[in-house]
Amino acid sequence: MRWKMFADLAEAAGDRTTDVRVSSDATVRDALDALLDDRDGLGDRVLDEDGQLKEHVNLLRNGSAAEFSDPVADGDELALFPPVSGG
């Protein structure tokens, strides 16, 4: 499955998109753990001290809001992005 990251999260990840592999019974959390495995600094940007998604980070699966417990499938697109602000 493919991860997309935006703004400062892409900078912390070192890339805007990356593919990860997880087991067939994986969840969004498993896919996030696979993403964070080799990206030092990204975890601190998206997870709080309890391992939960920080309030200001948006997590999507195939364009809709996602929960850690949601199942994922091959071909899914997951996205992490900070809040959008304008002026």
Q: What is the pLDDT of residues 6-49, one digit of tens each?
A: 999 999 999 999 999 999 999 999 999 999 998 988 999 999 99
Q: Which CATH number fits domain 2-81: 1.10.10.10, 3.40.1360.10, 3.10.20.30, 3.90.1580.10?
A: 3.10.20.30
For residue 83, the model assigns a pLDDT of: 76
Provide the token pair at 19: 């593919």
Q: Write down the domain spans for the chain.
A: 2-81
Task: Write the pLDDT tens digit of every residue in 67-86.
Answer: 999 999 999 999 999 877 65
3-state secondary structure 20-76: CCCCCCCEHHHHHHHHHCCCCCHHHHHECCCCCECCCCEEEECCEECCCCCECCCCC
Residues 62, 1: contact at Cβ < 8 Å? no
